[in-house]
Amino acid sequence: MADRISLLRRRMQELNLSAFVISSLTHLRYLFGFSGSNGLGVITEEHQWLITDRRYREQVKHEVHHAEVHIIQQDLFEPIKKRKLFSKGMRVGFEALHLNFRDFSRLQKAFPDVRLAATEYVIEKLTISRLPEEIEHTRRACELARRVWETILPVIRPGMTELDLSAEISYHSKKLGSERDAFEPIVASGWRSALPHGIASRKTIEYGELVVIDFGCVYEGFCSDVTRTVMIGQPSEEQRRMYEAVKEANRRAIAAAKANIPGAELDRVARDYLKEQGYDKAFGHSLGHGLGLDVHSLPRISPVSKDRIPADSIITIEPGVYLPEIGGVRIEDDILVHNDGAEVLTDIDRELIIIE
C-alpha cells in the first residue's frame, strides 16, 4: 500500500497539487486498507491521514498501517483544520465524482483561502495497471467464482424462480469465502434474458428458455465478474446459433487482447463478428470494462472508448446477443492483459450447457 501512496504522490506533483482529499470509500480501501463506511483520506507531501469516526477505533488498528489515523467526534474535516494541514493558497485536489455537494460546501467553508481543484479519475487511472498482489487478489476472486459456478450448476432446474437461483449464488459465494457479492447477481430467463441487466425476479425458469447468469465474488476487496448462459431443455436452431456466435465473439476478442490495443479496436473485434452473423443490432452494450475494487472501472472497452488497454490490467470480455422474441446470450470472462496476449482468469467451460 505504501507503493500505491507513492504512485499517488507522483501523480499529484504532475497535477500541481499540494494535497489530495480522498472521499471514495473504495479508494480508502485501495490506499489504506480501510474497509469502514465513513472516512476521509488526505495526502500531502509529508502526511498521509485517514480520518474516521469512533465506530472504527478498533478496526483501524487491524486494517490501517500506512496512515496516521484521526478519530473524530463529528466533522471529518475537523482534524485538518485543527492541525492546520492546509495552508493559505495551497492547491488541494478533491474527487469530483465522489465528494458529495454537502461535503464540498463544508470543505469550501472550512478552508476559504485554499484553492480547491476538482479532479476526475486520478486514483482510478493509477489502479488500471495492477501491482502483483492485486492481480493475485483478483485471481482468487475468479477462482471463487469458478467454484460457485460448479456448485450451483447442479441446482439449476425448471420450476425454480430466478430469485431462488440468485439466493443460491449469494449463499454459496459466502460459504466458499467471498466477502460479499461483487454486485446483485443477474439471473434472467426467457424473455427477461433479453434484458442485459435483468436482476433476478420472481419469474419461474421454464423449459425452452435461455438463462443468463452474471455474478461475481470479492477477495480482499477485489472483484470478479463472470457470465454464463445455460439452456433449459433442447435449444431451438436460433438459440443454438446465437449461443455459438457469442461464444466465437468472446473467443476472438480474448485472442486479440494484448497490451496497448485501443479499447475501441478490441470492441470492434467482437462487434464486427456479431455483425457478420446478422446480430449487429442485438449487441447493445460495451464489450467489457476494467475490473478492480469496483466492478466497473477503467479502461473502457466500447465503440467510443479513447482508452488503451495497458499491460497488467484486468478487463472483462462480455459480448452478448439479445433478441426480445427469443431471449439473450452473454458469455463474460475476466482476463489479465500481457504484452503479447491475455490470460483468462475465469477458467469455466464455455460450451452450451443443456439442463433437462
Cell of 147: 467454484
225 binds Zn ion (CB under 5 A): yes
Cis peptide before 185 (omega within 30 of 0): no
Q: How far is the CB of 332 from Zn ion (least distance, A)?
A: 5
3-class secondary-structure state, position 166 = helix
**Is 68 in a helix, a strand, or coil?**
strand
* Shortest CB 214 distance to Zn ion, Å: 4
Task: Cell numbers for 107, please give them.
Answer: 470543505
- Window 303 to 322, contacts with Zn ion (CB under 5 A): 316
Amino acid at 227: T
Strand partners, 160: none
143 binds Zn ion (CB under 5 A): no
At its nearest, how many Å lie between Zn ion and the CB of residue 328? 13
Query: Is 229 near Zn ion (CB under 5 A)?
Result: no
Output the CA torsion sign for 150, 153, 154, 155: positive
Number of residues interacting with Zn ion: please give it, by CB under 5 A: 5
Q: Is 267 in the site for Zn ion (CB under 5 A)?
A: no
**Closest separation in Å from C-beta 235 to Zn ion:** 22
Q: How far is the CB of 188 from Zn ion (least distance, A)?
A: 12
For cell 449487441, the residue is 283
Residue 333 touching Zn ion (CB under 5 A): no
Site stretch for Zn ion (CB under 5 A), options 38-46, 61-69, 187-195, 331-339: 331-339
- Asked whether position 214 contacts Zn ion by CB under 5 A, the answer is yes
CB 310 within 8 A of CB 299: yes
Measured from the CB atom, is 44 or 227 closer to Zn ion? Answer: 227
Interacting residue ranges for Zn ion, rule: CB under 5 A:
214, 225, 227, 316, 332
